[in-house]
Chain A
Amino acid sequence: MKINVNGNEYEIKGASGKTVLEACADIGVNIPNLCYSKNLGLLSSCRACVVEIEGRWNLVPACGVNIADGMIIKTNSPRVLDARKTVLELLLSDHELDCLKCSRTSDCRLKKASEDAQCDAKRFARDKEFVTVDQKNDYIRRNPNKCIMCGRCVKVCAIHQQVDVLAVNGRGFESTVGVAWDKELGSVPCITCGQCVANCPTAALEEAQATNRHDHLQLLKEKIADDKTHVIIATAPSTRVAIGEGFGMKSGTNVQGKMVTALKKLGFDRIFDLNLAADFTIMEEGVEFISKLDNWEGEVKTLFTSCCPGWINYVTMMHPDLIPNISTTKSPQQIFGALAKTYYADKIDIEPKNIFMVMLMPCVTKSSEANRKGIDANSRIKDVDMVVTVREMIRLIKESGIDFKNLDDGKYDDPMGLSSGAGLIFGTTGGVTEAALRTVCEHIMGKKMENIEFHDLRGEKGIKVANVRDLKDKNGNNIRAAVVSGITNAERVIQDIKSGYEHYHYVEVMACPGGCVNGGAMPAHDAIIQDNFGNARNRSKTIYNMDQYNNLRRSHENPVVKQIYDEFLGKPNGKKAHELLHTTHTPRKKYN
């Protein structure tokens, strides 16, 4: 199709169904937009993307009009620029402007659009009282004073997570995004998955820490500065392909080395790799799977993964009857913490109480897991003392003046720094299952496989199903695995299983579409055209690449894993392993 934009002719490929917004982005004319996201349905509420289209009397939102052959579009006429500037200034009049200390100061969509349009933030007076921020007992902080009412959080919570706890309350100027009865998020069935945070164009939604609120980063700095505290950090699989984005690097760049160096420069005593704990997860969960495979008692004969706290929050609330089917194996985070406060503490001869275990996570709710009642191996010692998100860490690194982009590559510390590719691919949807199958298959078959890649389990689809090679259960049925990301998809799979329509032996569930690479606390998606996966695609691609070129690709071949079992844990699923690396799940209340 041929279109005319700002006086120039362009040929647009793949034009059918393309919006003016997308077509202009194709030719390098970026129209600012705040509420548009490809997989959330058309909102057309912000009106920042209005353009002139010949033949239309008014200005039309570029996100809501499909291009037609011969369309004449103006994106920067005085009329358009004036309207755009005014719309943004109206939003600014309703917005708490503390950009300097705001967590989104470097990637706020409203800020960027307003700067480009050269808005006068004082043009319109503020007509609203400031309201209190909601951060009670939650892992998500809601600040209605910064909300621009784009509606994206409402949509993602309803459509992709089907939890539907966020909605617009009231009407008109006084309307706000909130929950039932204008209470706090903690009082409704929020699973704190953080997809609302991931989709929010401003800092109206951000991650929080229930116990330490805004000061947990302050506490971290104090711990680091304290000579008597041994501060160690373990980095989650997906962090190493995303944290560079905070420093202007392309999404999906492998910055593992720079990340380690930066953390060292921040003052952490040891930098460890959480992927190692992922290898342990495979060992424990693999043996658990094999032992439970043919021995289920109830109707449902499926083992569900348990390392995603958003998923656990959901299933323990909505389907407590499935608790017997959830893996008792802890998540890599909790496994690492347990080992750090026992095995590692012993190894370096430091008291567990003087070890401060920090996790670097892409996830908004990993701290809810760290705080879960009964999660710690020893109730008097916290296995994981603090979770810092990728976004928070980027700010800490900047605050310390560390020149991330130009750092040399560093190496993880021993003894807990070696990991396999299997551990790494935990970071993306399908990775846990693929990693597990590499170990499980070879164990059952009793020999090494030529091809350890399971491509059926990779990719963006929300529900992926695969027959696991030729392996069969005791009834002769092919072992089937399902990989799910996004809670709406999880619910579908659960219904299929409960109704008997489908049978899966193993189901991996990640609350975030695409898995942890798309976590709620990952750097914001900066692109002009927003969609549900953001930068997760590139991050995922790099993870699979890194796995491919890693010599060590199977969890059970990791020498550190073997060593720790030999020296300390005993057998996978054995008594000590169960004490330290397994947990139980309890039902949760929906409404409080």
Chain B
Amino acid sequence: MGDLTVTKSAFKKRITNEPSILTALQQAQEVYGYITPDAVAVVADVFEVSQSRVYSTATFYHQFTFAPRGKHVISVCMGTACYVLGAQEILNAIEDELGIKAGGVTTDGLFSIEHNTRCVGDCASAPIVIIGERWFNKTNTTKMLAVIRKIKKDEQEGAQ
């Protein structure tokens, strides 16, 4: 998750020696959790280019998001091997369970599903779902729904 309290001048200091606009944007994604309008303005200022140039670069790369993600970020790998072993069904089931589509965030901000997760490079253990830092290999719909429901329950209990 990002930290939105980082000031513009602090961020500017951080990216002053970045070698390229792209690496500066990668810093922004890391610091703030998503690309904020202020971040674009600072990068444009530091590299002496227009904001349009910076924004255009950011929107090319799918790793950059422009709105906050959920607390638990879910990625369903859609590589060939995973697809062939049923990843689409798993994704559909998760979408149904959470009531959002891939690329969206639940209204309580707890979950978001990454849009179009590319092959994560573990094809021998397909299909793969990643939630936050946890990897679930050779998984299926039943297993994943159980994991998600458990997280929901834990969050509820934590909030009480």
Contact = CB atoms under 8 A, between A and B. Distances in A.
Nearest to A158: B53
Nearest to A170: B59
A180 B50 contact: yes
10 contacts: A164-B50, A164-B52, A164-B53, A167-B56, A168-B60, A178-B52, A180-B55, A181-B37, A188-B52, A189-B50
Interface in B28-57: 37, 40-41, 49-56
A339 interface: no
Given A180-B40, A181-B37, A165 B60 contact: no
Contacts of A158: 53
B90 to A, nearest CB: 25
Q: Tell me the dominant secondary structure on chain B's binding face.
A: helix
Nearest to A172: B60
Given A180-B40, A181-B37, A169 B59 contact: yes
Contacts of B55: 167, 169, 179-181
Q: Tell me the dominant secondary structure on chain A's binding face.
A: loop
Contacts of B52: 164-167, 178-180, 188
Given A170-B59, A171-B60, A180-B40, A164 B54 contact: no
Nearest to B44: A180
A164 B60 CA distance: 17
B17 to A, nearest CB: 23
A163 interface: yes
Given A180-B54, A181-B37, A164 B49 contact: yes
Nearest to B61: A171
A189 to B, nearest CB: 7
Interface in B94-122: none
Interface residues of B, number: 14
Contacts, number: 44
Contacts of A164: 49-50, 52-53
Contact of A188 (B37, B50, B59, B62): B50
A171 B55 CA distance: 12
Interface string A145-177: 000000000000010000111111111000000
Q: Which of A164, A165, A171 has the most CB of B within 10 A?
A: A164
A165 B52 CA distance: 5
A247 interface: no
A568 interface: no
A124 interface: no
Q: Which of A166, A167, A171 has the most CB of B within 10 A?
A: A167
Interface string A276-287: 000000000000
Given A164-B50, A180-B54, A181-B37, 5 more contacts: A158-B53, A167-B52, A167-B56, A178-B52, A179-B52
A47 to B, nearest CB: 20
Given A180-B40, A181-B37, A163 B50 contact: yes
Contacts of B54: 180
A591 interface: yes
Contacts of A170: 59-60
Given A170-B59, A171-B59, A165 B37 contact: no
A460 B60 CA distance: 37
A170 B62 CA distance: 9
Contacts of B49: 164
